Amino acid sequence: MISVELRQAFEAVRSAAKLEREWSMMNSFPEGISRAPGLDAPTEYLDLLTFVDGPILGQVVVYRCKVVESMQVYAEEDEGAPVRLGVEKWFCFGKANEDPLFINRRDGTVWGFPDRGIVWQDSEVFGQFAGSLGEFLETYALGSKYLTLPGVDEDDQWWRLLKHVGRV
Hey, is 127 helix, strand or coil?
strand
Ordered by start, the domain boundaries in the chain are: 4-160
pTM for the full predicted model? 0.94
Q: With contact defined as beta carbons under 8 Å apart, do 115 and 99 qualify?
A: yes
In DSSP terms, 101 is beta-bridged to: 94, 112
Using an 8 Å Cβ cutoff, are 45 and 103 in contact?
yes
pLDDT at 112: 94
CA atoms within 13 A of residue 61's CA, in its CB half-sphere: 15
Contacts of 128 (CB under 8 A, 6+ apart): 109, 110, 111
**15-64: per-residue pLDDT in tens?**
999 999 999 999 999 999 987 678 899 999 999 999 999 999 999 999 99
What is the predicted pLDDT for the residue at 64?
96
The per-residue pLDDT for 140 is 97
Instruction: Quote the CATH superfamily of domain 4-160.
Output: SMI1/KNR4-like (3.40.1580.10)
pLDDT for residue 116: 66
Helix pair angle (157-164, 4-17), 10° resolution: 110
pLDDT at 125 (0 to 100): 86
Ranges under pLDDT 70 in the chain: 36, 116, 118, 122
